[in-house]
Amino acid sequence: MADKPATAAASSASTALNRAKGYQLVLFPFNNGATNVYYVLLMNYIAYYANGVLGLVLAFATTMVTVTRALDAFIDPVVGMLIDRTETKIGKFRPFIILGNVVMAVSSILLFYALRAFADAGVIKYVLYTVLYLALMVGYSIQTSCTRSGQTCLTNDPKQRPTFTLFNTVASLAGMGVTMAVASIVGGQVGFGTEAFFNFLIPLVILLSAGLTALAVIGIAGKDRKEFWGLGGGESQPNLKVRDYLAILKSNKELQRLAVAASGTKFAFALATQTAVGALLYSCMMGDYNQFYLPMYIIGYIGSAPFFLGGLKMSQKHGQKKTLVTFTCVALACYVGVTALLAMWNPNDPAFTMALWSTEGGFHLTLNAYTIAFIILYGIGYGAYYSTADMAIPMVADVSDYEMYRTGNYAPGVIGTLFSFIDKLVSSLAATVLGIAVTFVGLTTLPDTTTPYMPGMNVLTIVLFCIIPMIAWVFTLIAMRKYSLTGERMKEIQAVNACRKDAIANGMTTEQALATYKTMDQVPEQYRNL
């Protein structure tokens, strides 16, 4: 019985590997760009709104962000199971992409506009703020989970999948990059904790995210079909039970290792890029937020370009693990230098403080050796760690395919929501760490462009901008040591999965296919060159 499916499978091996078209690879990552718009809003500015506009206590505004993640521990798995069980005329993922974006838009309007009417309502505003914030996060969970899980049907080509990181950069620039740049300019003029700031920011967030969502839906439309879901050969996928999902989380070691690694890179990025941390560095210490923040932000993005381009080639040749480890090491090395520079900072000595330009006596550059060294180390370091912040996204798809190889279970929804939960947890934890840390120097509000320098801010900036992110990167490197899904390993996994899928389509049961084809040497020759 095994020979017939094997022969039939071999005859269709040329089409067994699912590859995406160019426009699909370009457009679907805009789903991450769409959610990153709200990521900027929630992680960088929500505390300013809660504290500055609504008058909520700073400790509540920052810690509540993390506390609500406890509820996400229950919400995210439910979202994942719903995705895994969904089969509609418009697909598995598109309904959730659209639903998530609508929920975020509606809850944002209520949170940032309607709630202002309750600014003097005492405890009621705390309750309403928490409920609406949680609703916004539910929408975020729904949509961002599709970024991770949807990749499994977009492509399983080990050479195509790393391109997601590259196009995700473009999507991030269109979403997070535009939002942060515009917000920094507007906030520098009117303040981050003002009604005027949010009156400008919220419409931008809603409209920009909706536009990027539309592009993502177009990108995945041709792939969001049964024939690209799992091993089923177009048949309905079996509904996994809660105990099945728990078994996946418990036994899939690669999933666990990637979760730790992703937590490290994401936490480092989330903390170091907090607007308040930028205010500490460029305004409180260096004395001119408007002069430094945007140029350094641009330098960081310029520095990231060679890492994304080089990372694509490295990932295609050696696998995504090697790229993640290499770039994390580069970031770690550069930030040792950044730490040393900030430790040498002396506001009373022009040679040991940053200077870009001056308008006294006419515009002219005032670059010194200190600034040049900072630009080089920061530019390379930021480029390296920015390229790793979302590198786990295509690796999540690898883990999902590994689970399908290991057990036959197609569970992209639950695996995707696990990483969505991690994303939100570590990002919100960054806000909490920031809120707690600033209180140690005597601040009752988050620092902004008008906050004067106080004793201890230099140490605080070094800890938040450098030390804690560096510790997080070390955890990433430790977790990656035993991570086995290298480039060569993924080629074997995809070959076996492709053979099994064809065998099932030609009459084998899933159990028979899993038992018959386990390793590369057990599949027909045609599959070994996919």
pLDDT tens-digit profile of 89-99? Answer: 899 999 999 99
Could you identify the residue written with the tokens 């993005």?
Answer: 301
Provide the pLDDT for residue 2: 41
- Does 242 lie in the same domain as 277? yes
Q: Are residues 258 and 114 in the same domain?
A: yes
User: In terms of domains, do 102 and 227 share one?
Assistant: yes
Asked if residue 19 and residue 156 are part of one domain, the reply reads: yes
For the stretch 313-345, pLDDT in tens is 898 888 889 999 999 999 999 999 999 999 999
DSSP 302-316: HHHHHHHHHHHHHHH
Segments in the chain below pLDDT 70: 1-16, 65-66, 69-70, 72-73, 232-239, 530
179, 202 contact by CB (below 8 A): no
Closest CA to 493 of 403, 393, 410: 403
CB 46 within 8 A of CB 56: no
Evaluate the CA torsion angle 179, 312, 399, 15 in order and state its sign: positive
Asked whether residue 508 falls in the same domain as residue 375, the answer is: no
- Whether residues 471 and 499 share a domain: the answer is no
Judgement on whether residues 497 and 397 belong to the same structural domain of the protein: no
Q: Give the integer Cα–Cα distance in Å for 152 and 255.
A: 15
Q: Any alpha helices (H) in 279-391, and if so which ranges?
A: 289-318, 320-344, 369-389
pLDDT of residue 208: 95
> Which residues span the domain enclosing 511?
492-529
Same domain, 324 and 336: yes
What pLDDT, on a 0 to 100 scale, did the predictor assign at position 239? Answer: 67
My answer on whether 23 and 54 are in the same domain is yes
Q: How far apart are the first and last CA of the chain?
A: 25
Residues 25 and 96 in one domain: yes
* 3-class secondary structure, 260: helix
pTM assigned to the model: 0.76
Q: Give the Cα separation of 461 and 454 in Å (integer).
A: 12
Domain presence at residue 3 = no
